[in-house]
Structure 1
Amino acid sequence: MITHIVLFKLKDRSEASVARTAQVLKDMEGKIEELKFLEVGVDIIHSDRSYDIALVTKFESMEGLNAYQIHPVHKKVIEHMSEVRESSVSVDYEV
């Protein structure tokens, strides 16, 4: 199982902006066959080092993760994130 985690810091960190972007991420659920698990979390601490949104996804294999990366639904999400994010970091690991 491959786990792909991305943390996003948004340009507009207002509650409405964060909620809207979290929903864009959640809307991928059920639309990408290779995506076996999706969880979106919104930060509740709001410290200086906090990121606004966490995206946790899981795939059966690297092939599944690679297919997700180029899937049209994910590409639309990337377009949105490119407009709203200030920065992001990610980690991918296999269990």
Structure 2
Amino acid sequence: MIKHIVMWKLKEQAEGADRATNMQKMKALLDGCAGIVPGILKFEAVLAQPGLEATYDVVLYSEFESRAALDAYQDHPEHVAIKPFIGAVREARQCMDYEI
């Protein structure tokens, strides 16, 4: 199994909207990728929550049955299509993939 975890810090303003609006849009776009390829075991996009510690705004926690499933997700047209928006609104990105 491969775990794929990505965290994004968003800009205060980007793409004509504020951070909170872009966080919501980004989560909706990520949620739309939840079942796009076979082999996705878990796919959870979450937003920083008031009152809980967070240094990033959006986190994607996902699990894939194999490296091939993760690769298929990464290359899928629906996933590729959301990258320009995410790239435009993000200030910083951290990612870690690991196998268990």
What's the TM-score, normalizing by structure 2?
0.81
The within-5 A match list for 1:1-95 is 1-12=1-12, 14-45=19-50, 50-95=55-100
Counterpart residue identity of residue 92, structure 2: S
SS at match of 2:40: coil
How far has the Cα of 1:34 moved from its partner?
Answer: 3.6
Moved over 6 A (4+): none
Q: Which consecutive unaligned segments of at least 5 residues does structure 2 have?
A: 13-17
Change beyond 3 A, Cα 1:34–1:77: farther
Q: 1:86 to 1:46 in 2, by over 3 A?
A: farther
Deviations 1:23-65 (A, max 9, x none): 1111112223343321011112589x71000001111111111
Q: CA deviation at 1:8?
A: 0.5
Note if contact 2:47-2:58 (Cα within 8 Å) is conserved in structure 1: yes
Q: Secondary structure at the match of 1:32?
A: coil
The alignment of Structure 1 onto Structure 2 pairs a total of residues equal to 95
- Report % sequence identity: 32
